[in-house]
Amino acid sequence: MSRRQSYDGVVLAAPVTVPYVRYSTETAHWWIARALRETLRTADLAPQDLDGFSVASFTLFPDTPVGLTQHLGLSPRWLDSIPMGGASGVVALRRAARAVQAGDADIVACVAGDANHIDSFRRLLSSFSRFAMDAGYPYGFGGPNANFALLTDRYMQEYGATREDFGRICVAQRANALRNPNALMKKPLTLDQYLAARPIADPIALFDCVMPCAGSEAFLVMREDEAVRRSLPFARIRSTIERHNAHGGDPIQLRGGWTVDIDEFWDMAACGPDDIDLLQTYDDYPVISAMQIEDLGFCEKGAARDFIRAHDLTIDGDFPHNTSGGQLSAGQAGAAGGFIGLVEALRQVTGTAGPTQVPMARRAAVAGFGMINYDRGLCSAAAIIEGEGP
Amino acid sequence: MTDPLIPPPKKDPLKRSLSPTQPPAVRSRAALGLTAAAAEGRFALQTCVDCGTVQYPPRDACCSCLSTDLPWRDTDPSGTLLAETTVRTSVNPYFRERTPWRMGSVHLDAGPVVICHVHGDVTPRARVRLRLMLDRAGQGVMIALPPERTDHMSDDPELRAMSSDPRLRRILITDARHPFAPTLARALLDAGATAIFAGEPETWLPNPNRAALADLGADLLPLDVTDTKSVERLAGEIGGKTDILINTARFLRPGGVLARGGTAVARDEMEVNYLGLMRLAQAFGPAMCSRTADGTNSAVAWVNLLSVHAIVNEPAYGCYNASQAAAYGLSQSLRAEFRTAGLRVMNVFSGPMEEDWYQPLPPPKVTAQALARSVVSGLQDGLEDVWCGDVAHDFRDRFRQNPKVLEIELAQEGGA
């Protein structure tokens, strides 16, 4: 049994995705406001009545979430900033849940959003981290593509995975995206097209890469009785983990921090991988999804390639994965990329996913991964949430 | 194997030259230690004084014990290539123009993992040795090389982008009368330079080097660095095809302040050694800066030959050394001014040379061959600071131990 206190009595509700746009002239403030307004509207809550606010964004500069409170007319008694990129959704959730559980806040709105102007991506990369500035980008300036090319190259050598294996992940996600009207990618993708795509940073090719875009995501964390009172479909939190800079001695990243906390992850949820109805991984590149499938215990280390070959990862398949199309096919809206899986999972287990709804989706695992500080992603996180399903 | 460079065709004057762009140039203060080591061709990384852990990327505190005492120490550059990629698309204009660009991840025997440039002759997942070099932003970067030399190794496009290699380049030696000019010209030609221009002041006077330089095929052209018009005239003629400029012009006489009995000689020293450099830089600098991305024979380096006593004076040649100090100061300003263009300023510091004006001094003295070797290898390695000969090395080490002690020692030697 886990020694950690459970999240009993706390739920998440009111999932919102503001449809992504490839390039937008709007600011992060605008995108965050859109998502916040929608999630509050769903719960019939006035902005002035919100007492907890959690923000994840890369493009608020020179503002912080503090400035955002005045900008948006909020007066929270609990305020959080989650600078954790792809892990920000799960991390925002677990912090907000404890605040609500302790009574430090009644309702926390967790919002992630980022702008994407022409040239924003280059500017964001240039000042991403000190190690990247000193020791990453001077070497070809391939950005995250080059970092993940190195990890993918090594992963393929080590475990015998092939581009076809990664292609299966991408092709399945594209099929899922075609059912999500808000996904940026609208055309079907075949494995042949995937394999024939323009090389970006070998062995990474075009369809291994996400498309940077603007967008925002949000959800609310509150007590269960509050959700019932407001007639909101909700999900309970069964388990969460978070870990940073794990396995620092590994010369190259072939596993993430999930492996450190995996036993506790399943102990706390009192279930195992077989009890999961759908999985949302952080998919900035397919190799990372493969790593999460392994490190979360869905298969042995190095066996993701066999797992992917043996399962159908689409919405109607036997292992529904990244059901909204994920970042690979729906787009990567900066820090909102750390929310996309969690918000979609919340829709799924509350039976509100509409065209991407997985039948019988009650229990979802969501993983986050973020922040390529130098040569690897430093943040990892995961959660299991459970709802009544469709 | 690296494909040997082919001599570029004659330039089409109607075609636009590529504008110089830079790789990422911003670094943290700690990371500048890497640049400082690269500037003189050392391979150094931070090493924790308390626990011995070698650090990379550069840090402000040890990643093993949190000590903040992390001096830069020479480190074993061997390691193993863990993974690699070829970047085929970049949002950075410098690399965008130079793709495909091979880079990789190397696990150093000394401990850390380094993301680095990868030479074309490195075998996948093989042993490598890293070299620390300056890139065109003037910042220290690492490149993985094969453990042994390979054919045409220096022609690799990534290595060439970081070096100032004289191969297939056109070089101006500003004073053909410098006693070492013929030896220097020969060494540069042996290293693959395609043309040597040699500036000749006072062409009506006999020049003992004229025959030797002409035999080597050097182009002797009138150039008097004390005459602005003369410098401008030559720059107008060859400024657009000078890829490397080596300033050999100097006015050298012994003596300190009291021995001189006037300022006339000092004025000549400043005219040649300080203002001459300034005139050359004003006339040749802009054209060279505009041509740093101009293909195989792009403009690449500016070389100053300086007395090591430019840094701390040696009073027996006190006034001359003062003019050298002025030139050294100017070279630092030039380095900053050339920086955005990626034109490298290389200072070659030497002690007394084997020549008439240093005749009374005891050995060791720098020979023409030694100086030529230092210039050529410094260019090939893309250095900024080159220490030529035993006196210069000894001076450098003493300077780094304690500059004030060195000043006192030099004063005692000069006064003795």
pLDDT at A90 over 50: yes
Tokens matching residue A277: 């109805």
Q: Which residues pair with B54 in a beta bridge?
A: B47
Q: Is A202 exposed, middle or buried (0-12, 13-18, 19+ CB in 10 A)?
A: middle
What local confidence, expressed as pLDDT, does residue B415 receive? 44
Q: Which of B254, B259, B222, B255 is nearest to B237 (CA)?
A: B222
* Bond from prior residue into A15 cis (ω within 30 degrees of 0): no
Q: Which residue of B has its CA nearest to A138?
A: B24
| Matching residue, tokens 């009374």 | B360
Helix or strand holding residue A99 (H, E): helix A88-102
Q: Residues B395, B55: contact at Cβ < 8 Å? A: no
A14 φψ region: left (φ > 0), alpha (ψ -120 to 50), beta (else): left
Chain B: residues touching A (Cβ < 8 Å): 23-24, 26-28, 30-31, 34, 56-58, 63, 82-92, 94-95, 101-105, 107, 113-117, 125, 135, 137, 139, 141
Percentage helix, strand, coil for chain B under 3-state DSSP, each rounded to 5:
35, 20, 40
Residue A198: how many other CB atoms lie within 10 Å:
9
Tell me the H-state helices in B239-351.
257-260, 264-269, 276-290, 318-338
pLDDT in tens, chain B (416 residues): 899 999 998 888 888 888 999 999 999 999 999 999 999 999 999 999 999 999 999 999 999 999 999 999 999 999 999 999 999 999 999 999 999 999 999 999 999 999 999 999 999 999 999 999 999 999 999 999 999 999 999 999 999 999 999 999 999 999 999 999 999 999 999 999 999 999 999 999 999 999 999 999 999 999 999 999 999 999 999 999 999 999 999 999 999 999 888 999 999 999 999 999 999 999 999 999 999 999 999 999 999 999 999 999 999 999 999 999 999 999 999 999 999 999 999 999 999 999 999 998 889 999 999 999 999 999 999 999 999 999 999 999 999 999 999 999 999 875 43
Between CA B33 and CA B176 the distance in angstroms is: 38
Using the beta-carbon criterion (under 8 Å), do A149 and B85 form an inter-chain contact? yes
Between CA B365 and CA B416 the distance in angstroms is: 20
CB-based contact, A50 to chain B, within 8 Å? no
What local confidence, expressed as pLDDT, does residue B12 receive? 84
Using the beta-carbon criterion (under 8 Å), do A133 and B63 form an inter-chain contact? no
DSSP B99-112: -SEEEEEEEETTS-
B407 to each of A196, A284, B324, B400, B413, how far by Cα in Å?
Answer: 68, 59, 16, 12, 10
Quick check: helix, strand or coil at residue A358?
coil
pLDDT at A120 over 90: no
What local confidence, expressed as pLDDT, does residue A2 receive? 66
A201: nearest CB among B31, B56, B87: B87
Using the beta-carbon criterion (under 8 Å), do B58 and A134 form an inter-chain contact? yes
Q: Nearest CA to CA, how far is A113 from chain B (Å)?
A: 23
When pLDDT is averaged across residues A316-337 and rounded to a whole number, the result is: 97
When pLDDT is averaged across residues A256-279 and rounded to a whole number, the result is: 97
Between CA A343 and CA A58 the distance in angstroms is: 19
Between CA A256 and CA A243 the distance in angstroms is: 9
Between CA A153 and CA B104 the distance in angstroms is: 10
Q: Which residue of B has its CA nearest to A152?
A: B83
More confident residue, B261 or A380: A380
DSSP one-letter code for B313: -
Q: Which residue of B35, B87, B109, B114 to mutate against A (max A Cβ within 10 Å)?
A: B87
Angle at A256 between CA A123 and CA A121, to 5 degrees: 10
Q: Which residue of B has its CA nearest to A151?
A: B83
Q: Nearest CA to CA, how far is B83 from chain A (Å)?
A: 5
Using the beta-carbon criterion (under 8 Å), do A251 and B85 form an inter-chain contact? no
Using the beta-carbon criterion (under 8 Å), do A154 and B82 form an inter-chain contact? yes
Q: Which residues pair with A215 in a beta bridge?
A: A114
Using the beta-carbon criterion (under 8 Å), do B95 and A140 form an inter-chain contact? yes
Helix or strand holding residue A327 (H, E): helix A326-330
Instruction: State what percent of residues in chain A have pLDDT above 90.
Output: 96
Helix or strand holding residue B406 (H, E): helix B403-415
Using the beta-carbon criterion (under 8 Å), do B30 and A134 form an inter-chain contact? yes
ipTM greater than 0.95: no
DSSP one-letter code for A332: B
A130: nearest CB among B28, B86, B139: B28
Q: Residues A219, A342: contact at Cβ < 8 Å? A: yes
B92: nearest CB among A141, A145, A374: A141
What local confidence, expressed as pLDDT, does residue B13 receive? 81
**Which residues in chain B are closer than 8 Å to A121, comparing Cβ atoms?**
91
Tell me the H-state helices in B30-180.
32-39, 93-96, 157-162
B168 to each of B6, B8, B192, B237, how far by Cα in Å?
Answer: 8, 8, 6, 20
Q: Which of A207, A187, A169 is nearest to A312 (CA)?
A: A169
pLDDT at A284 over 60: yes
What local confidence, expressed as pLDDT, does residue B416 receive? 38
Q: Which residue of B88, B106, B113 to mutate against A (max A Cβ within 10 Å)?
A: B88
Helix or strand holding residue B140 (H, E): strand B140-145
Tokens matching residue B198: 């040699």
| SS (HEC) of A275-312 | HCCEEECCCCCHHHHHHHHHHCCCCCCCCHHHHHHHCC
DSSP A136-185: ITTTT--HHHHHHHHHHHHHHHHH---HHHHHHHHHHHHHHHTT-TT-S-
Between CA A9 and CA A18 the distance in angstroms is: 28
Q: Which residues, other chains included, contact B51 with Cβ-Cβ below 8 Å and sequence gap of 6+?
A: B62, B64, B65, B67
What local confidence, expressed as pLDDT, does residue B185 receive? 98
A146: nearest CB among B23, B85, B141: B85
* Single-letter amino acid code for the residue at B150: T
CB-based contact, A170 to chain B, within 8 Å? no
Q: Which of A352, A27, A7, A31 is nearest to A218 (CA)?
A: A31
Q: Which of B82, B79, B77, B147 is nearest to B119 (CA)?
A: B147
DSSP one-letter code for B294: S
**Which residues in chain B are closer than 8 Å to A150, comparing Cβ atoms?**
82-85, 104-105, 115
Quick check: helix, strand or coil at residue B355?
coil
Quick check: helix, strand or coil at residue B378?
helix
When pLDDT is averaged across residues A15-28 and rounded to a whole number, the result is: 96
Q: Give the model's confidence band at A123: pLDDT under 50 very low, under 70 low, under 90 confident, else very high.
A: confident
Phi, psi (rounded to 5 degrees) for A368: -125, 155
**Which residues in chain A are closer than 8 Å to B23, comparing Cβ atoms?**
138, 141
Q: Which residue of B has its CA nearest to A154?
A: B83
